Every structure is written in structure tokens, then in C-alpha cells.
Amino acid sequence: MPKQIDRLGDPVRRISRRAMLAGTAGAFGTATLPFGKAHARQQDRPNVPDDPTKVQGRDASELGTRSQFEQVRRSAGRSSSQTPHQDLDGIITPSDLHYERHHGGIPEIDPDRHSLLIHGMVERDTMFTVADLKRFPSRSVIHFMECSGNGGRSYRNRRTEDVTPQQVDGLTSTSEWTGVPLATLMREVGVDPEASWILAEGGDAAVMTRSIPMGKVMDDALIAYGQNGEALRPEQGYPIRLFLPGWEGSASVKWIRRIEVGDEAFMTREETSKYTDPLPDGTARQFSFTMDTKSIITFPAYPDTLPERGWWEMSGLAWSGRGRISRVEISTDGGQSWSDAELQGPVLPICHTRFRAAFNWQGDETVVLSRATDETGYVQPTLDELIAVRGIGTRYHHNHIRGCRIRPNGSTVFTVDA
Amino acid sequence: MRVATPRSAGVWTAVAVVIVASAAIAAQQDQPERFGFGRPATEAEIAAWDIDVTPDGTGLPPGGGTAVEGRSIYVEKCEICHGAHGEGRPFSQLVGREPRQGFPFGNQPSLVRTIGNYWPFAPTLYDYTFRTMPFDEPGTLEPDEVYALTAFLLYLNDIVAEDDVIDANTLPRVQMPARDKFVGDNRRGGRELR
């Protein structure tokens, strides 16, 4: 059955994507299309042989590219870009589609002239070159990273309907990260047992700074230089970045050049005036690092259209900053009843986990939702439940239940109505 | 005072090396306490990068300034982004004390967070301005300029007087209106939603 569903689903996705492109072309003219050529109309599609078995294919190349028929793109503003989750399968985000968020642009850094300084409450103030860092025993881990502002547009305006998974939740991505455990470096410099915080500082124009508690530093923090088997992309911190599994992305300081070890939080702008969460009781939560359990449906989702009734396969991603996803449930009646989705392996801790669930659409107005549970027992809340504890004014950590409304004509819109 | 790292781990590693030196897993277990990679950082290197300023004023350099001095620097280097009175057009609003009572940001999404109503520590203002501003020439302000701009922004926010001298001694003593509003993270996973 899954194969049959895949065959049904696949052409629909292409149709809807083409429809989107046609709309773009109509609005802006073909000259401004970001894809170079308008692929909207059939006659404009790339010219390929009628029968590829009757001509020799092209030669090997030094650098691969996507098929000219695949036009996946991040959506990008000046200081952030979003992963097109509606166009991706599996759990790994291609490196060039990993979301971005930066606070002073992407710096151009020569790795041979970049160093990491560790100083403060240590026995030996030490300067490490990138080559030094790569000489230490390395570790590779597969983890998601999510911006704590992800999903914000579905929190403040619950009537937002014409938004894609990319537009709502594109600030999360999963990669394999390779680097040296920060604990190894702390032992190398002789960290003072009384030290309780570090300041991580970037070498970008924002000279980005965040305070990180020593517990996380010694637990699983990484100074990463690799992403999905190659060097970090510049927008991901080339040549080195901090990586903190399961924590809000802004704490994983990119282009890191300095770590100061201390015994108090440093109270930088990014952890006081930004990235704090005012609560309904008149306080503001600070150092709210961990990303709570969340799931999103990537198909069906706006602007997909189901062309006919029958069996379809819902697909999506679930993740938790605290460990493994233990369960994803789906509802096809707006949250009145729930049933288990299938978790597609590998199910890794602190990682995007793909889920799938077949459903039989009978042409009725249908609200499909997903709800994730992690191994600590945390259950993804509804928007109303989240607002009750956090208040409507909060700007970060928007992990409420969401999904889509399928209209009788098969068109879909985003919804948070659980 | 710096305290030496406990050596017990090293002793046990050495014992383990003796015991399993011939085993296949020895390569994983006999890693040294230190590899000896990297080189000592010089004081000059540390001084060049160690620019952070903490709430108690640690890291503040010599120098100082007043709001009167800061006004002309602000007009020249800041106003184009933040507005003549820090009202924040086209970029971040810097000035605002409303509401004077309470801290209702959790319930009022339209309330703009400013230096005057949301920043808990005054030295953070020096730290951030020095490391990042002006936006088109980041990190080019001299300490006296940053002190003067800090004084001016605190003055616009009705926190210090126009002729108050802001320096390494006075800045940590400035009481910010939002000073006591911040709490730690009490989320722990599990069933309870916080």
C-alpha cells in the first residue's frame, strides 16, 4: 500500500508546485523568477530527449547538481532563510537548504587565519587553530537544530491560512555534525572546577555572544567543523561553530572564536532583551534553552490539492530537544480522536523523526493534525493550552499542535484549530 | 583563585592502560588527560578579544561620558536607524518606559520591548553597543563614545539625568526598571506543561 500511495502523492506534489510557479510568473513576470527560467508552462520545461535510452548521457562532473526539474529553494530574507520541508523526504536536510539565522550577516573567514581562544577560569589560556581542533578525537552526531522563533507566525495569528510548512516552520533542520566535544577542550585547558558558565563569542559582525551553563558544555556540546560529511557551510559557521544538541539555535554560536570561562552568566543582550520569554505572571523566563516537543505535517499542506478522494499518506516531522520521539498521533477530525502514526526509522534522540500515516479522504471538510510525545512523556500541547501557560505575548518556543484543513474541493490551508 | 583539576581521572586512566594495553580497545581508553594541542594565548591576544562587560561592570574600560556628549554622537551615527528620539524607525526602538507599572509583556504582544522597560542590566548596553554598532561600521566606536551614547540612551529612557557621568564606576550602579523581572527556566519535560 505505501508504494501505491507514493505513486498517487508524487504527481500531485509536482502539479501543485507547478501551479505555484505559474502564479509567481503571473505576478512578477518571468524575468524576475529566482529560478532563471520559468518552468511554469509545459513548453518552457527543460528540453530533454524523448527517449533517454537512445542517446548517450552527459559526462561525469566534479560537482553534482540537482536535476533541472527540481527547484527546491530556501525562502530568504536578509537575516534568515527557511528550509522547504514540503519538498523534502527523510530526516536529513541538504546542507544548502539548512535554515539560516544570523545577527550580523555571513562573515568571510579564512580558516587558516581563524582561531579559537579559551581563557578565563582555566589553568592554561589557550589558542587553538582549526587544524589543532581537527586533531582531537572527533565525534559525529545527527541532530536537529531549531530557531526558538520558529512557528511564531502561527502563534500570534491563529487565522493565518495561506502559509506553507516552509513559511511557518522552516527554521528547523537536521544535519550530521562533526567536531570535537567541548568537554575534551575543557580538559585540555584545565577548567576550574568552580567554573559554572562559559561565554561563547562569534567572529562575525555581531560578535554574537551567549552564556552557556557548564553542565551542557561538559555533557554534549560540540565545536563542529563538519556538516553532512563536508566542511560547514559559511552560513552555518564556517570554519567552526558551537553546536548544542536540542537547544535553541541562537545559543549554538557560529564562527566561534572565543570562549571565556566564568562562574556567572554574562547577561549579554541576546539572553536578556532577546531570547527571553515574558510570562503571564509578570516575569520573564531566561535561559529557556531546550526546544520542546513538536511535530509538523509536511504533506498534505498548503498549497497542496488532493485531486480525488481515497487513500492518501500523510507525512511529517517530529522532534524533541529532550530525547527521542516515542509517539506521533494523527487526527483527521480536528483533534476529537487520535491514532498512532508510523515512525520511520531511524528514530534518533534530539533529531527530526519522519512519521507517516495513511488516511482515507472521503471528500468532506477535514482537519488533519499531528501530536508528538517524547520519551520524557511530554505531549505536544494545543495552541490554547500553550497560550494559557505562556501568554500571547511570548515570541519564542511555539510548539503547539498544527496541521491543515482539507476543503471539499481538495484544496488545503494551514490551521492551528485543534 | 584557580583550583587544579582533580587528578584521579588521570590515575585511573593510567591503571586502565596497564591492564588493557594489549586489548583491541586500548586505543579508545588510553587517551591522555591532555593532548598538548594548541599554544598558550598571549595577554595581548586575550586583551584584543576580551571585550565583554558583565552586570557588575567587569570589563568596562577607562573613560566616561554624559548624555549631553552622547546626543551629538547619536545624531551623527545612530539617528538614521533608530530615530531622533530612539523611537525606532526604521530599526529597533530604543526608548520607552510604558507601562510604568507592572511587566505585562506576556499578555500584551503589541508592547514594544525597549532599553527602558525590558533590559535588566545597564552594562549590557555598553557591551552590545561597543561590539556591534554602528550597524554599517560595527565595532568602531571608542569607549568614550560608547559611554556617552549609553548615558544618552539611559537619559532618553528617564533612568539617569542629562549631566550624570557614566563610567566604569557609575554604570554598574544604574538600576534598570526591569532588573528583577527575570526568572530561570522551570521546564523539565514530562507531562507538565510550563
Q: Does A309 touch chain B (CB under 8 A)?
A: no
The mean-pLDDT minimum among A148-157, A184-193, A203-212 falls in: A148-157
% pLDDT > 70, chain B: 85
Helix (H, G, I), strand (E, B) or coil at A223: strand
Q: Residue A127: which pLDDT band, with cuts at 50, 70 and 90?
A: very high
B71-105 confidence digits (pLDDT tens) = 999 999 999 999 999 999 899 999 999 999 999 99
Question: Is the CB of A392 less than 8 angstroms away from the CB of B124?
Answer: no
Q: Exposure of A237 by Cβ count < 10 A (0-12 exposed, 13-18 middle, 19+ buried)?
A: buried
DSSP A86: G
Asked if the structure places residue B19 within a domain, the reply is no
Asked if the structure places residue B165 within a domain, the reply is yes
| pLDDT top residue among A5 and B191 | B191
Asked if the structure places residue B96 within a domain, the reply is yes
What is the DSSP code string of chain B?
---PPPSHHHHHHHHHHHHHTTSTTHHHH---S----SEEPPHHHHHHH-----TT-TTPPS-EE-HHHHHHHHHHHTHHHH-TTS--SSS--------SSS-GGGT-TTSPP-HHHH--BTHHHHHHHHHH-STTSTT---HHHHHHHHHHHHHHTTSS-TTPPEETTTGGG-B-TTTT-EE-----SSS---
Q: What is the pLDDT of residue A158?
A: 85
Minimum Cα–Cα distance from B115: chain A residue: A273
Q: What mean pLDDT is predicted for residues A28-37?
A: 35
Question: Is the CB of B113 less than 8 angstroms away from the CB of A273?
Answer: yes
Asked if the structure places residue B54 within a domain, the reply is yes
Asked if the structure places residue B10 within a domain, the reply is no
Q: What is the pLDDT of residue A388?
A: 97
A306-322 confidence digits (pLDDT tens) = 999 999 999 999 999 99
- Cβ(A195)–Cβ(A185) below 8 Å: no
Neighbour tally for A29: CB within 10 Å: 10
Superfamily of domain A101-160+172-285: Oxidoreductase, molybdopterin-binding domain (3.90.420.10)
Residues of chain A contacting residue B35, judged by C-beta atoms under 8 Å apart: 135-136, 188
Mean pLDDT, chain B, as a whole number? 89
* Residue range of the domain that includes B89: 50-173
pLDDT beyond 90 at A409:
yes
Question: Is the CB of A267 less than 8 angstroms away from the CB of B138?
Answer: no
% pLDDT > 90, chain A: 87
pLDDT beyond 80 at B10:
no
H or E segment to which residue A237 belongs: none
Question: Is the CB of B121 less than 8 angstroms away from the CB of A267?
Answer: yes
d(CA A282, CA A177) in angstroms, rounded, equals 39
d(CA B87, CA B83) in angstroms, rounded, equals 5
d(CA A198, CA A120) in angstroms, rounded, equals 9
Q: Residue A31: which pLDDT band, with cuts at 50, 70 and 90?
A: very low
**Domain A294-415 carries which CATH code?**
2.60.40.650
C-alpha cell at A342: 508510523
Q: How many residues does chain B have?
A: 194
Q: What is the pLDDT of residue B42?
A: 98
Question: Is the CB of A123 less than 8 angstroms away from the CB of B4?
Answer: yes
Q: Residue B25: which pLDDT band, with cuts at 50, 70 and 90?
A: low
Residues of chain A contacting residue B46, judged by C-beta atoms under 8 Å apart: 117, 119, 125
Q: Which of B107, B126, B180 to mutate to test the interface with A (most CBs of A within 10 A)?
A: B107
How far is it between the farthest Cα atoms of chain A?
72
Q: What mean pLDDT is predicted for residues B3-7?
A: 41
Q: Residue B29: which pLDDT band, with cuts at 50, 70 and 90?
A: low
Question: Is the CB of B194 less than 8 angstroms away from the CB of A389?
Answer: yes
User: Is the omega angle on the peptide bond into residue B61 within 30 degrees of 0, that is, cis?
Assistant: no
Asked if the structure places residue B185 within a domain, the reply is no
Q: What is the pLDDT of residue A14?
A: 38
pLDDT beyond 50 at B3:
no
Q: How many residues does chain A have?
A: 418
Q: What is the pLDDT of residue A41?
A: 55
CATH (domain of B111):
1.10.760.10
Minimum Cα–Cα distance from A273: chain B residue: B119
* ipTM field: 0.88
Residues of chain B contacting residue A132, judged by C-beta atoms under 8 Å apart: 37-38
Q: Residue A44: which pLDDT band, with cuts at 50, 70 and 90?
A: confident
B190 → closest Cβ in A125, A206, A376: A376
Helix (H, G, I), strand (E, B) or coil at A3: helix
What is the reported pTM? 0.89
Asked if the structure places residue B139 within a domain, the reply is yes
Q: What is the pLDDT of residue A42?
A: 61
Q: Residue A7: which pLDDT band, with cuts at 50, 70 and 90?
A: very low
Q: Residue B26: which pLDDT band, with cuts at 50, 70 and 90?
A: low
Q: Residue A418: which pLDDT band, with cuts at 50, 70 and 90?
A: confident
Count how many domains chain B has: 1
Asked if the structure places residue B24 within a domain, the reply is no
Q: List the 39-58 stretch of B: residues with Cβ below 8 A of A.
A: 39-41, 45-46, 49-52, 54-55
Q: List the 154-173 stretch of A: residues with Cβ below 8 A of B.
A: 156
| A172-202: b (≥16 Cβ within 10 Å) or e | bbbbbbbbbbbbbbbbbbbbbeebbbbbbbb
Q: What is the pLDDT of residue A174?
A: 98
Q: What mean pLDDT is predicted for residues A96-101?
A: 98
